[in-house]
Structure 1
Amino acid sequence: MDPAIKPASRSFEDATPLLAEPAELRRVAAEKGYLFFKRFFAREEIMEMRELLLGVLQQEGLLDAGSPLLDGIGHLPLINKLTPEEINWNGIGTTQRVYHNVQKLQEFHAFAHHAKLLAMFGVLFGERAFPHPRNIARIMLPSESLKVTPPHQDFLHIQGSADTWTCWAPMGDVPRSLGGLSLLEGSNQAGLLGVTAAEGAGGLETILCNLGYEWAEGDYEAGDMVIFHSLTVHKALPNRQPGRVRLSLDLRYQPASQPIEQASLLPHGPFEWDELYEGWTREDLKYYWKRESFVFLPFDESIRWQKDKIC
């Protein structure tokens, strides 16, 4: 840890009461760069999604057959046979084969269109929220080869509108010991920071020096979620529960009127929408972004390595 960054000393505060005060919600969001919501989703719907995701692992033999499915206990003999390249593929904590099957789940993509999420982001943005179709599932298998996601800002990877926000929702109970998400409170106000190459999801680590911000974190229960601005520095905590799988979703939203980068409309992974859509029954979830009139911003690779941003 950078000695200039203080250890976590802030606990999450529930932002749910702010939903009734839009102006205050936006003020706090701009100040902190994130908002935490306690029991935002019904526990039952989270556990249904958890069962679907764990079912994919079960089909591949990656769960312990002697444990209840919802416990998410990995089959370590098989997991330990996976190469570091397989376990760290695309930063999602599992193999490409498993992730392909997850990306084909209609229910997984439908979750991004949850009415409560769209309404909440509508309040935050003060206009209609557009959900990016490039939904991400983190299926973090328990493996010593798995690299922990380093501190980073999402904007470097997604670009488009800086006012893009991510919803990080654990699919099950995720205490800090299982590797939840930690956020550098207020770091969104520091602008785009310099980076260095690093292992873990994204392959880049934000350089943190003399910022004076504090890490905020907490123990998540099924139904909790945290949302954060694209410039908010965040990281994953290490999984210290041997054998346990950690599941979470990354879902991104932006004001519908703002520009977007083309890749945000592609699947997450080397997949094609037509192939992922096979067997889907909800036509409203397919290519819904084609009904929008976006201004597209090109991806700028150069901003990743701005030397004057490095202290």
Structure 2
Amino acid sequence: MMSLTDDGAAVVAEDSTPVAGDPAELRRRLREHGMLLFRGLLPERRLAELRARFTEVLRRHDWLADDSGGGAAGTEGEGLRPAANRRDGSPRWWRMYEDLQKVELMHRAAHAPQLVEVMRAVLGKPLLNHTRRQVSLVHPGFWVPPHQEHTHVQGTPDVLTAWVPFTPFPAGRGTLRVLRERAVPGVRPLTVLDTGGVEARIEPDEGDWWRAPDLGPGDVVVMHALATRAVDENVTPYLRGAVEYRYQSAREPVCFASLRPHHYPRVPGWEEIAAGWSQRRWLRVPLRVRQVDFLLPDNQETWHELLPHPVSRLVDVEPGRT
């Protein structure tokens, strides 16, 4: 794994909250940094409610230690401490994750006016709100390797991800980072890790890593799908958690998979996921959206060769391969 813990080459992100209503300035910052940081964009009480719903699911599936707190997210002592030997990918994890996907509030929050207004300012109208929404849990001792969302989302390269933490992500103990580049190199080659995951290949002199000193409920980080992002190792005894929402222009192509539940078909379709919801408008998409196939290689390390060289209207991309 590439080490991201040395802050010598890291830069602190600029808060874009004061210019949230300025489309031209938001686009300029996104082009320069590949990301936008918004402090306190969403109401903390709404994230506290979402955290409480998720905590109920985690407890029901025995995912938390008996003495784990489930209270306010701002206090380290009240963090969500996982039970021993709870890891992603186990049969128990899939059952738990299915129930996380069934939490209506998680899908409803993707339509928060504050989020939608920012996305429309950058992307324009009409807006497509991907219904495939992700719950990211980082266990103690784990990390998220450097990667680009475009490889796994595809469709248009101009997809924006809103990374919305519902627990604290304190500095130096699970920091979100984004590689700050003058121009993205297109789709990066991947290296398969011993853990079974993949990591984007990055040269030592490729830009600086942006970092946030602290992130917590209410903060939002918006990242372009071609930006390279990672989360440092979680060196605390607590779960770190965020939800990830994706948006794009409805005039551009989208993969059909982006309109299904995250991890479908390992989790059920919408008829089962949304059963019992108060309403299903969180799943609506504009009419006549152009859907394209998802390209999956035989070998993950050749994925960058299979995908077309991206063309973006939001970030600068290096010239394609000849």
Please confirm whether the aligned pair reaches a TM-score higher than 0.5, indicating the same fold.
yes
Shift of 1:23: 0.9
- Residue 276 of structure 2 corresponds to 279
Equivalent in the alignment of 2:317: none
2:305 maps to 1:306: yes
Counterpart of 1:164 (choices 126, 142, 159) is 159
User: How far 1:255 sits from its partner (Å)?
Assistant: 0.9
Please identify, of 148-157 and 169-178, the stretch whose mean Cα deviation from structure 2 is larger.
169-178
Runs (5+) with no aligned partner, structure 2: 72-77, 310-319
Matched, 1:292 2:287: yes
C-alpha spacing 1:67/1:283, structure 2 compared with 1 (3 Å): closer
Distance 1:122 1:97, change over 3 A: same
What percentage of aligned pairs have identical amino acids?
27
1:212 paired residue number: 206
Residue identity matched to 2:88 = N
SS at match of 2:292: coil
Per the TM alignment, residue 263 of structure 1 is displaced from its structure 2 partner at its CA by 0.8
Aligned to 1:95: 93
Deviation at 1:75, TM superposition (A): 4.7
Match of 2:241 in 1: 247
| Aligned 8 A contact 2:22 2:121 in 1 | no
Aligned pairs, number? 292
1:195 deviates by: 1.4
Aligned to 1:264: 258
Residues 297/237 of structure 1: CA separation in 2 closer, same or farther (3 Å cut) = same
Deviation at 1:301, TM superposition (A): 2.7
By how many angstroms is 1:2 displaced?
A: 7.2
| Conservation of the 8 A alpha-carbon contact between 1:188 and 1:229 | no
Match of 1:118 among 116, 119, 143: 116
Letter in structure 1 aligned against 2:174: G
Q: 1:185 to 1:56 in 2, by over 3 A?
A: same
**Structure holding more helix per residue:** 1
TM-score w.r.t. structure 2 length? 0.83
Cα deviation for residue 163 of structure 1 reads 0.3
Note the 1:104-143 alignment, pairs <5 A.
104-142=102-140
Give the letter aligned to residue 209 of structure 1: E
TM-superposed CA distance for 1:299, in Å, is: 1.8
Other-structure match for 2:50: 49
TM-score by length of 1: 0.85
1:72 has 2:56 as partner: no
Shift of 1:189: 2.5
Structure 1 residue 162: Cα displacement: 0.4
The question of whether the paired residues in 1 share the 8 Å contact of 2:82 and 2:239 is answered with: no
Distance in structure 2 (CA, Å) of the matches to 1:185 and 1:199: 27
How far apart, in 1, do the equivalents of 2:198 and 2:115 lie? Answer: 29
| Cα shift at 1:305 | 4.3
Please list every run of 5 or more consecutive structure 1 residues that lacks an aligned counterpart in the other structure.
Answer: none
Report if aligned partners of 1:182, 1:234 keep a CA contact under 8 Å in 2.
Answer: yes
Supply the AA of the counterpart residue of 2:17: T
With over 3 angstroms needed to count, the CA separation of the structure-2 counterparts of 1:54 and 1:27, relative to structure 1, is same
Correspondent of 1:151 among 146, 170, 176:
146
CA separation of 1:60 and 1:160: change in aligned 2, threshold 3 A:
same
